[in-house]
Copies of this chain bind each other. A is one copy, B any other.
Amino acid sequence: MITCDMAVSIDGYVAGPNQRADAPFGDGVGDSLHQWMFEAAEENAAEIAAITDAGAFVMGRNMFGPGRGEWDLDWTGWWGPEPPYHAPVFVLTHHERSPVQMEGGTTFHFVTGGIEEAVTRARAAAGERDVSIAGGAATVNQALAAGLVDELRLHVAPVLLGQGERLFDGVGRTELTPAGVRQTALVTHLRYTLSRTAG
């Protein structure tokens, strides 16, 4: 199964404008979208654990790091020496780079062939386990538009951001099936299943 977890505002934003190295979620967001993970980790433990419970991950260039051009080879992601993935992570990019092996089982692989190739490689690496589309919004939107996602898990923070990077842009009309909901003080967890249309 291919899953996707996204923290999102009620008005559908996953990040504010002007994402950059010192403000990876952009202006005006602060920790409003992720407060539930940091301040209420116990109450939301099941949903937090599920985010990284996959055999392989796919992520976009901007989620892995700032900048859009050639790689800064000293950059190994936002997550320190031991990223929370503990599995292969396939990073979409236009620039070739050798794999980067981190502590704790995470290896970043760089894929220049687009979302379908990244998902195919992630599936092969995951074996029987799930593949997770880790973000950001552009990568998730590509995967949704290509019909590659089986289960979408939205973590809706109780805030309207009003501007920024929007989930679902360009995905087009899609029917989903409600598959579960749980509300805590800082977040509402919504699960949906999708009928695969491609991939």
A10 is an interface residue with CB less than 8 A from chain B:
yes
Stretch at the interface among A90-98, A110-118, A176-184: A176-184
With A12-B12, A192-B10 known to touch, is A160 a contact of B183 (CB < 8 Å)? no
CB-based contact A11/B158 at 8 Å:
no
Residues of chain A from 1 to 22 with CB closer than 8 A to chain B in the complex: 10-12
Residue of B nearest to A193 (CB): B158
Stretch at the interface among A57-65, A71-79, A123-131, A166-174: A166-174
CB-based contact A176/B162 at 8 Å:
no
Q: How many copies does the complex hold?
A: 2
User: What's the Cα separation between A28 and B167 when bound, in Å?
Assistant: 20
CB-based contact B188/A181 at 8 Å:
yes
Residue of B nearest to A181 (CB): B183
User: What's the Cα separation between A30 and B185 when bound, in Å?
Assistant: 35
With A10-B176, A176-B10 known to touch, is A171 a contact of B181 (CB < 8 Å)? no
A175 is an interface residue with CB less than 8 A from chain B:
yes
Neighbouring B residues of A161 by C-beta, 8 Å: 173
Neighbouring B residues of A160 by C-beta, 8 Å: 144, 168, 171-174, 176
Residue of B nearest to A172 (CB): B162
Residue of B nearest to A144 (CB): B160
Q: How far is the CB of A24 from chain B (nearest CB, A)?
A: 19
Neighbouring B residues of A184 by C-beta, 8 Å: 178
CB-based contact B183/A180 at 8 Å:
yes
User: What's the Cα separation between A49 and B154 when bound, in Å?
Assistant: 28
CB-based contact A168/B28 at 8 Å:
no
With A12-B12, A181-B181 known to touch, is A176 a contact of B159 (CB < 8 Å)? yes
Nearest 3 A-B pairs (CB), nearest first?
A: A11-B168, A181-B183, A160-B174
